[in-house]
Amino acid sequence: MAASARAAAGERLPSKASGLLYGIGFGGFVDGIVLHQILQWHHMISSVDGRDPGTLAGLEANTVADGFFHLGTWAAAVAGMVTALIAWRQGRIAPSWSFHLGLVVAGWGLFNLVEGLVDHQILGVHHVRDDLGAPLSWDIGFLVSGVVLIAAGWLLHRRGVRVLERRAARRTPNPVDGPPGP
């Protein structure tokens, strides 16, 4: 259904921002919790000179940096919640599962892509596996995972858009026949 038909029906699609922000935040949580804390493959600044997490001073510096990283991912998740509430107050329809989950998955992929390019490649503050002699293959795998998550999430999201449009089309009165029946 075209946007004009949705507007005529008094409906606006849900916000894309909330799903993307949730995905960015949750993707950061997965990275920080799994790669930084559980597997301990790297920390936020583990490749910076003098910040070797194998020393007490380096571990302390990396723990603080990881804390700020987690604060940023938490802020992204909160921003997702706020944008969802704003969208609902604007009268937007609730997202279908595939609309929202697709954006969350795409947001996670966006996190991986941006974090992988900026922190791993441009700034070089850490790599996916800092404990290996050749971490580039792990970094490339992380970037590829971002692209795959974005593509899969976008396809799922588009499916959700079609579901919402079909649902709205069933509720839109036909101007020739009058309002829909029961």
Contact 13, 92 (CB under 8 A): yes
Contact 16, 103 (CB under 8 A): yes
pLDDT band with cut points at 50, 70 and 90 for residue 1: very low
How far is 30 from 40, CA to CA, in rounded Å?
A: 13
Residues 92-140 pLDDT 10s: 988 999 999 999 999 999 999 999 999 999 999 999 997 776 688 999 9
178: helix, coil or strand?
strand
**Cα 107 → chain centroid:** 2
Q: Is the pLDDT of residue 180 over 80?
A: no
Residues 63-86 pLDDT 10s: 999 999 999 999 999 999 999 999
Residues 13-55 pLDDT 10s: 899 999 999 999 999 999 999 999 999 999 999 888 888 888 9
How far is 113 from 128, CA to CA, in rounded Å?
A: 12
